[in-house]
């Protein structure tokens, strides 16, 4: 009887390990598919909204007007940033920053995606 109990406990342990491995494989496959779909959606959204990544024609324009122009032309989130202010260095394809001179309220740098 003890031999049967040991044998059953070994099988049970193996079965548990196999089940855990299978669950881990399913979870990793689901995550991989989710990441792939997310990057495909981002790429298609970027391509459909506009292929433009910079707007040099806005330099010298009133910052608020430039913001309105970009919000109408693109689906990007537009931020007004005074020249010299600190910003994060991460790249975000849905973001456009307009750096402007706070004394004149004019766009000082070419607005770019990121």
Report pLDDT digits (tens) over 9-67. Answer: 555 777 777 776 777 777 777 766 554 554 455 444 444 445 899 999 999 999 999 99
> How many domains does the chain contain in total?
2
Per-residue pLDDT band at 89 (split at 50, 70, 90): very high
If asked whether residues 72 and 101 sit together in one domain, one would say yes
Averaged pLDDT for residues 74-84:
95
Q: Are residues 31 and 10 located together in one domain of the fold?
A: yes
Pair (61, 93) in one structural domain: yes
Residues 42 and 1 in one domain: yes
Q: Are residues 33 and 61 in the same domain?
A: no
Going from the C-alpha of 11 to that of each of 2, 6, 65, 102, 113, the distances in angstroms are 14, 9, 72, 73, 57
Range of the structural domain that residue 78 is part of: 56-113
């Amino acid at each position: 009887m003890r031999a049967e109990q040991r044998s059953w406990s070994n099988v049970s342990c193996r079965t548990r390990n196999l089940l855990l491995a299978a669950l881990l494989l399913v979870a990793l496959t689901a995550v991989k598919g989710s990441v792939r779909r997310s990057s495909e959606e981002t790429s298609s959204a970027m391509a459909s909204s506009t292929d433009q990544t910079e707007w040099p024609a806005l330099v010298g324009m009133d910052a608020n007007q430039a913001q309105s122009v970009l919000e109408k032309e693109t689906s990007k989130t537009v931020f007004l940033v005074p020249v010299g202010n600190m910003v994060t260095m991460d790249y975000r394809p849905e973001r456009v920053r307009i750096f402007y001179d706070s004394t004149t309220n004019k766009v000082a740098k070419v607005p770019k995606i990121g």
